[in-house]
Amino acid sequence: MNEKQVISRRRGPVFTEKNFYLEEFYGKSLVFSLVPPSGERLTDLDSLNRTLRELRRNQTRCIIVGSTRAIPFLVRRLGRLAPRDGPLRFNPATGVRSRPYPPDSAISALWEASQNGRVVLAEAAAEDARDVVIFAQQLAARLRVFKLLLLDRAGALADAAGGRHSFVQIERVRRLLKDIRSSHRRALVQAAYRAIRAGVASVSLVSPREVYQELFSFSGSGTIFTEAGYGNVRQVSIDDFEEVEALIVRAQNEGFLLTRSQREIAGLLPSCFGYRIGDEHLAGVVSLLTEPYRRDHAGEITALYTLTRFQGEGVAAELINAVVREARTRRLKYVFACTTEQRAASLFEHLGFHRVEPQALPPAKWRGYDKKRIGLLTIFRWDLIR
């Protein structure tokens, strides 16, 4: 076996989306709430069952909250995955006004149950969807879990045109509630808001049939709620390199970025910045490449990519602004960017970049470059020293 084959075998699973999320959830706790009538049909539970099996192998602690009507279906669908001692039973109408709630004794019982198996069932003895949701929200907040998932048959929130709200910072919740007429859906958004305010890292509103895609794909399928200002841009560490590399490869496969070899991608990684959603995964990446243009005191903004679910949320603009600030810190004379994507071109223009001709860039940029491709590029420059 040659060196290339060895590297390929060692790195084989790196680019699978699921592996990144499993690593993210390793050793964490998640609460899943089946919002009535979710869970009252076996077909509601196929995706959840698949999800829980992955997470159990991953040593992720999973607590599933279901109504009295949903629990029998859940036990049947999970089979051997269901806890042998059956579900823990809670009555949301009892003691709900006491503080803290759920009480310490309930938390202790949940902890003991989780030691026997990573999957815990919590029966909320209520039929009203709002009571079940409030209990799940209070439980998630009391435990300060990594994520709360509200599994509602209607799935993610949608805007007036039917487009999915894939990402919502909770400072936007009040505006969002004005457009939601359903009292049921309003209650779900309010529960997400309260959970985040109480310390839950993030909340996902998703259909039970799409929970696997929500947790294990870059595009997701639900609406994720996070704290305002939860995202941040910073230069990536070596521990982020595999995740960044995976995003660049994904962008290349989707046709958003120029195809590069593994070695060429490795050359970009040290100069990459990432937009990270709290303690969760990267939402986007960009590179400020300066080494090839050292003589010109210039930097290239390249490998700009935002995950589908975060497009339109300002992530790309945050990334570009961050690397422009970094370029000023490094006392570069100018930065430039080349793109064939109209959306990216519009963004650069919106941020104040100016269109220029190829000769306005460092000669090193065009060494070995495909001349035919140059004609397809829109080229931008921002002078930092005037």
Percent of the residues in the chain that have a pLDDT greater than 90, as a whole number: 59
- Residue pair 149/33 in contact (Cβ under 8 Å)? The answer is yes
Distance, in Å, from the CA atom of 106 to the CA atom of 117, rounded to the nearest integer, reads 17
The pLDDT, as a whole number, for residue 106 is 85
The pLDDT, as a whole number, for residue 14 is 44
Residues near 342 by Cβ (< 8 Å), separated by ≥ 6? none
How many helices (H) and strands (E) the chain has is answered by 14, 15
Handedness of CA 193, 306, 28, 25 (dihedral sign): positive
Region of poorest pLDDT, from 12-21, 158-167, 206-215, 335-344: 12-21
Q: Are strands 223-226 and 231-235 parallel, antiparallel or unpaired?
A: unpaired
333-382 pLDDT, tens digit each: 999 999 998 989 999 999 999 999 999 999 999 998 888 889 899 999 99
304-334 pLDDT, tens digit each: 999 877 777 788 999 999 999 999 999 999 9
264-283 pLDDT, tens digit each: 999 999 999 999 876 667 88
Distance, in Å, from the CA atom of 354 to the CA atom of 309, rounded to the nearest integer, reads 28
DSSP single-letter state for residue 67: E
Region of poorest pLDDT, from 83-92, 146-155, 224-233: 224-233
Region of poorest pLDDT, from 32-36, 182-186, 253-257: 253-257
Distance, in Å, from the CA atom of 231 to the CA atom of 280, rounded to the nearest integer, reads 9
Residue 137 predicted with pLDDT over 80: yes
Distance, in Å, from the CA atom of 175 to the CA atom of 189, rounded to the nearest integer, reads 11
Residue 229 predicted with pLDDT over 70: no
The pLDDT, as a whole number, for residue 95 is 59
pLDDT category at 24 given cuts 50, 70, 90 is: confident
Q: Which domains does the chain have, with CATH numbers?
A: 3-229 (3.40.1160.10), 232-383 (3.40.630.30)
CA proximity to 343, closest of 311, 376, 379: 311
- Residue pair 107/142 in contact (Cβ under 8 Å)? The answer is yes
232-248 pLDDT, tens digit each: 888 988 888 988 998 89
Please compute the mean of the pLDDT values over residues 221-231 and round it to a whole number.
80
Q: What is the DSSP string of 272-317?
A: EEEEEETTS-EEEEEEEE-GGGGGGTEEEEEEEEE-GGGTTTTHHH
Tokens found for residue 147? 């994520």
Distance, in Å, from the CA atom of 190 to the CA atom of 198, rounded to the nearest integer, reads 12
